[in-house]
Amino acid sequence: MDSRSHAPALHRRTYTAHVSPEISITAAEPDFAHQFGRTPAETCGRSLYELLHPSSPVILDRHFKRLSEGRCNRFAERVIGRGDAGLAFSGELTGIAVKDTAGELAGIVVLLRPDEDTRAPGADDEQVRPRERMLSKLDAQVLEGVASGASTVQLAARLYLSRQGVEYHVGLMLRKLKAPNRAALVARAHAMGMFTVGHWPPRVLPEYIK
């Protein structure tokens, strides 16, 4: 007998909400709302986009347009959500068209599956609170340079800093984002949704800059 048959099945959390064709949330189960640090009452009536990373409309608009035009019945897309106290989490968002008796789009069922390694807000002290991740303009420029692969010498020349000045600002951000090294710093910034999606070289979103 295959020993894998005894392995426990992985439980994937799936939270559900209903949105109108205009992408306004009309109903949400408690777990869906809680994933974003809200109650169902606080969630209903809001645009789904208010709960997601600012770049989400660019990614999701085409999917919702295809649903509304009847060109597809469902889609699945990776998203970054804003959880309790602004903490970001990643996951998969599925949209399923709901049609009325005339075959017209009546609404959309949204299924959210947070990644399995996403920790609940407040789960440990390694998570970064919003006030700790606000960057100065210079910090943001240094972070963008690190994310693009620039060396300390290149950043120093580009930003008119000394090498020690660059290392000072990198060290500040390592502590703010609780990252052990530059690679982890960039990875954490991406996971937190700090960079504009689909832009090269990387750019820090204005909302993260003081």
Judge contact between 75 and 67, C-beta under 8 A: yes
- 178 and 107, same structural domain? no
Query: Of the residues 89, 114, 139, which one is the last residue of a structural domain?
Result: 114
- 47 and 77, same structural domain? yes
- 98 and 165, same structural domain? no
Judge contact between 177 and 188, C-beta under 8 A: yes
- 28 and 92, same structural domain? yes
Reported as a pLDDT band with limits 50, 70 and 90, residue 157 is: very high
pLDDT (tens digit per residue) in 109-154: 999 988 865 443 433 444 555 444 578 999 999 999 998 888 999 9
- 110 and 26, same structural domain? yes
CA distance 105 to 157: 56
- 162 and 191, same structural domain? yes
Backbone angles phi, psi at 14, to 5 degrees: -130, 120
- 195 and 137, same structural domain? yes
| Beta pairing partners, 119 | none
- 199 and 159, same structural domain? yes
- 99 and 27, same structural domain? yes
Instruction: Give the structural domain span for 64.
Output: 16-114
What distances in angstroms separate CA 58 from CA 63, 77, 198, one per listed residue? 10, 12, 10
Total number of domains constituting the chain: 2
- 110 and 20, same structural domain? yes
pLDDT for residue 105 is more than 80: yes
